[in-house]
């Protein structure tokens, strides 16, 4: 399953544009939509112990390889930068390399996770994929980045939240395994937004109150009336453009979108759990990757079924908060309040309000 950062409904709208100002963007979106239908190698270190015996250990450090597709749609492309190599003169290559490193750092330094799979999975990425490709995605093995069409989208390596978001799909793949359909799919997308935002906040040293809580900020060109693809703080406000339309994300269950498109609205309805996390993180203050982020990370390791819905996920976050911080803690109150504010009640038995 390919998990792209740009929702298919947005690409479809761009593909249908009949405006000479965006002719290249429309063509690029059509190409991107046509496409959008494990290698595992732990990094080992070797040393000798006091008795001169060979010791082999898993090294908790990134093992990055960046390849260049040369604007073709063939993966992986030619290797252009490997772990430890100096920066190149290609911004996309270096942004991808740095973004993979920043994502590794959050999961390793804060949550004690060694790469995406927890056992040192190499971090591979391909840049310059396709001609004006309007997306970035995790394909189950590697990150793939398009350059954008230059009229609506800039290059996708330029957003750290995009890199973190897509790699977080890999973390979900190796932990909760949330099915990419309906509410479980919206949770899959939301978890990636949560950790995509936290990757950026951790890299920049931002507190919950300092962060912008935007996913894909800077992706749009100046031609677009919008700040990002999504806002976790205020779903539905990321863009409002004459060409692209208005951001369709709801922030409350009363506005939940029932649709057969986009795998049951996975990119749309993710706004609801996104806002629940933001509210919990804002209530707890300080650094969101610490308490709120820890609770969501713990939840991924809980006994979640692939078809987990919003209520069951909310209950799992509450259980994770109780387990780590105690029943009467501020963390439990913040999690419960966050979900309740978006219309998902997690009382004694759980339940849903709209």
Which residues are tagged catalytic? 166, 267
Pairing of strands 214-215, 230-231: antiparallel
HSE (CB half, 13 Å, CA atoms) of 38?
18
Write the DSSP string, 63-128: -EEEEE-TTSS-SS-EEEEETTPPP-S-HHHHHHHHHHHHHHHIIIIIT--BSTTSB---EEEEES
d(CA 217, CA 230): 8
d(CA 16, CA 25): 10
Asked whether the beta carbons of 90 and 79 are under 8 A apart, the reply is no
Two structure tokens written together for 27: 């063509």
Pairing of strands 64-68, 123-127: parallel
| Dihedral, 37, 38, 39, 44 alpha carbons, nearest 10 | 140
φ/ψ of residue 219, rounded to 5: -70, -35
| Dihedral, 311, 312, 315, 321 alpha carbons, nearest 10 | -120
Map residue 140 onto helix, strand or coil: coil
Show the CA angle centred on residue 286, arms to residues 283 and 288, nearest 5°. 75
Give the DSSP letter of residue 58.
E
């Amino acid at each position: 399953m390919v998990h792209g950062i740009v929702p298919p409904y947005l690409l479809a709208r761009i593909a249908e544009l009949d405006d000479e100002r965006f002719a290249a963007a429309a063509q690029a979106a059509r190409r991107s939509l046509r496409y959008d239908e494990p290698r595992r190698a732990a990094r080992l270190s070797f040393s000798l112990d006091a008795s001169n015996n060979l010791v082999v250990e898993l090294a908790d450090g990134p093992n990055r390889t960046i390849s260049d597709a040369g604007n073709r749609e063939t993966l992986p492309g030619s290797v252009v930068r490997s772990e430890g190599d100096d920066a190149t003169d290609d911004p996309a290559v270096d942004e991808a390399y740095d973004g993979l490193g920043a994502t590794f750092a959050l999961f390793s330094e804060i949550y004690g996770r060694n790469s995406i799979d927890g056992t040192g999975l190499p971090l591979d990425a391909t840049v310059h994929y396709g001609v004006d490709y309007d997306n970035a995605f995790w394909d189950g093995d590697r990150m793939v980045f398009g350059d954008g069409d230059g009229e609506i989208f800039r290059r996708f390596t330029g957003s750290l939240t995009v890199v973190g978001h897509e790699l977080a799909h890999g973390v979900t793949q190796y932990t909760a395994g949330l099915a990419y359909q309906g509410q479980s799919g919206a949770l899959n997308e939301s978890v990636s937004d949560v950790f995509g935002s936290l990757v950026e906040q951790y890299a920049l040293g931002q507190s919950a109150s300092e962060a912008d809580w935007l996913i894909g900020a800077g992706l749009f060109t100046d031609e677009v009336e919008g700040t990002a693809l999504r806002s976790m703080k205020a779903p539905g406000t990321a863009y409002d453009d004459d060409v692209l339309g208005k951001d369709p994300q709801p922030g409350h269950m009363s506005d939940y979108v029932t649709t057969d498109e986009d795998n049951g609205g996975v990119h749309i309805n993710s706004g609801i759990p996104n806002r629940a996390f933001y509210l919990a993180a804002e209530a707890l203050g300080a650094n969101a990757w610490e308490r709120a982020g820890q609770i969501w990370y713990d939840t991924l390791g809980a006994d979640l079924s692939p078809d987990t819905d919003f209520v069951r996920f909310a209950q799992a976050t509450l259980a994770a908060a109780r387990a780590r911080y105690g029943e009467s803690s501020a963390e439990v109150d913040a999690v419960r309040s966050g979900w309740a504010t978006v219309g998902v009640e997690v009382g004694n038995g759980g339940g849903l309000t709209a």
